[in-house]
Chain A
Amino acid sequence: MRIGYFPGCSLLGSSREFDESVRALAGAIGLELVTVPDWNCCGASSAHVLDHKLSLALPARILAQAEAAGLDEVLAPCAACFNRLSSARAELDADPALRTEIAGILELPYQGRVRVVNVLEVLDRCQAELQARMVAPFQRKVACYYGCLLVRPPRVVAFDRPEDPQSMDRLLALAGAQPLDWNHKTECCGAAFSVTRTDLVARMSGRIVAGAAKAGAEAIVVACPMCHSNLDLRRSASNALTGADHQLPVLFITQALGLAMGLDPAALGLQRHLVPAGPVLSGAPALAPQPAARTRP
């Protein structure tokens, strides 16, 4: 299978382990990633604050480049990129005059033919290939944290359930983990305020970490670089604010699945986290081996 790939800026820098683990997983299951030629930044959480047309033009250029390269589908692992690309595509689909105007701004043809998909959608499709390669069940209690951008607004992203999504839970159950019921699955981590309003981010991400710890999680699993930064890079700030000393690691979904597939932790970039992933790499599995057949009423 072959799919367009738009890594986005975070995956080249502060979240490069997300890129590394997506590539490692894709390699293991024979998914060919074709990078969008000469891709640019999608504008993320900044363009829409200052100018709406800029917030459409930046993602549209990426989609136009993908179209020119003959791709019909682009995987955007970063949840912010996925959201900006999906929003721009939906708005341009609904308004032909705006589509023409934006194509003029880009100086590129734009038809709106490219579908944008996130990492959970793609992994969900590859369940059979993933399952066939599970050799080291990830027997951990996990809090699946989806955040905002994968599931909202539902009219635009049209993915999973906006209030209690399940796709990541299903994937981790497939890997042998026990996804927990908890309250903060889709609460906002503070996103782009990481630098400007660290006080707010510490409080918001601190509540999420505390919620996961209270539910008994051994790890939080995410699919968004901003969520990862705020829960991992900002952990000392959130611990300082709440007075707690939470040390539960934050893994990308691709890292957790990669571990269950026996991939090398270094190839998955697990050494790059600020909150060490050690406890879920070497400690004894908390979950007893799963019974062979679980009967359901």
Chain B
Amino acid sequence: MTSAPHPPVPEATLKAEVLAATGVKMNHCYQCGKCAAGCPVAEDMDLTSCQILRLVQLGEPEADRRALQCEGIWLCLACETCSTRCPQQVEVPRVLDFLRTEAVRRGLAHPGSRDILAFHRAFLDSVRTTGRLYEIGLVAGYKLRSRHFLQDLALAPRMLTRGKLPLLPHLIRGRAAMKRIFQRTLGGK
């Protein structure tokens, strides 16, 4: 006896978007739970990787919204433990990357994402402007965006005296090309 073929994925669902954007077929996941079992931050997530995948599999608007609104998608460190161990080779971090961009695009991102997004935006601002990461610029940009002005003040002098915080950024020659790369990919995101 053979199983019936999977029905086509309705186009308006999140799982169809995941498939189009990442090539990951959500129905490959059979909910064994191994991804969440080995995840180093599962204990801090409101929904674990396995639960998030299940919600997306359902293909229902309410389940899609819950997956996009949860904090769990923001805590993934892309350590790839889950995708390494997944018996079905589902690339979970790649799916979570997509869910994060989609959550931002739809204005559904969890409040816990605020500082994390502030960090990544400050990081990329530095790369867009100078071509490389300028660590002092990153920290300053992050503090401005997150309003956490007092954080890590004790660490900076210890890094400075050990020569670990160059005061000036390194500017690459291809900065104009870098700006165009950012414009063509990240755009206004």
- Using CB atoms and an 8 Å cutoff, list the residues of chain A in contact with chain B: 9-10, 12-16, 38-41, 43-54, 57-58, 61, 105-107, 148, 152-155, 162-163, 186-188, 190-193, 195-198, 200, 204, 233, 271-274
Q: Which residues of A have CB within 8 Å of B126?
A: 41
Tell me which residues across on chain A come within 8 A of B164, comparing CB atoms: 13-16, 272
For B131, the chain A residues whose CB sits under 8 A away are 38, 40-41
> Does any Cβ of A come within 8 Å of B78's Cβ?
yes
Alpha-carbon distance between A106 and B79 when the two chains are bound, in angstroms: 28
A40 touches B132 (CB 8 A): yes
Judged by a CB distance under 8 angstroms, whether B173 is at the interface is yes
The answer to whether B135 and A13 touch across the interface, beta carbons within 8 angstroms, is yes
Contact assessment for B165 and A54 in the assembled complex, using a CB-CB cutoff below 8 Å: no
**Residues of A contacting B185 with CB < 8 Å?**
51, 53-54, 57, 105
B69-86 residues with Cβ-Cβ distance < 8 A to A are: 75, 77-81, 83-84
What's the A-B contact tally at a CB cutoff of 8 Å? 161
Establish whether residues A47 and B124, one from each chain, have CB atoms under 8 Å apart when the complex forms: yes
A207 to B60, CA, bound (A): 40
- B6-14, B28-36, B46-54, B96-104 - the one binding chain A: B96-104
Interface residue? B170 (CB, 8 A) = yes
Known contacts: A14-B165, A49-B100, A272-B162. The answer to whether A152 contacts B123 by CB under 8 A is: no
How far does the alpha carbon of A204 sit from the alpha carbon of B174 in the complex, in Å? 38
B21 & A54 in contact (Cβ 8 Å cutoff): no
- Across the interface, do B119 and A46 meet the contact criterion of CB distance under 8 Å? yes
Assembly CA distance A51 to B100 (angstroms): 10
Kindly list chain A residues whose C-beta atoms are within 8 Å of the C-beta of B177.
Answer: 61, 106-107
Is B62 interfacial (CB 8 A cutoff)?
no
Per-residue contact bits, chain B 127-147, to A (CB 8 Å; 1 contact, 0 not): 100011101000100100010
CA distance A105 to B186 in the complex (A): 12
Given known pairs A38-B174, A105-B184, the reply for A49 and B81 (CB within 8 Å) is no
Q: Considering the chains assembled together, what is the distance between the CA atoms of A48 and B79 in angstroms?
A: 13
Nearest Cβ distance between residue A90 and chain B, in whole angstroms? 12
Known: A13-B166, A49-B117. 15 other contacts (CB 8 A): A13-B165, A14-B135, A14-B164, A40-B132, A46-B120, A51-B186, A52-B97, A61-B178, A61-B181, A105-B181, A105-B185, A148-B77, A190-B40, A196-B116, A233-B159
Residue of B nearest to A45 (CB): B78
Assess whether A44 is in contact with B83, with CB atoms less than 8 Å apart. Answer: no
Query: How near does chain A come to B80, taking the closest CB pair, in angstroms?
Result: 4
> Which B residue sits closest to A156, measured CB to CB?
B80
Q: How far is the CA of A272 from the CA of B162 in the complex (A)?
A: 5
B40 contact from A46, A154, A188, Cβ within 8 A: A188
Contact of A200 among B44, B101, B123, B124 (CB under 8 A): B44
Q: Are B81 and A188 in contact (CB under 8 A)?
A: yes
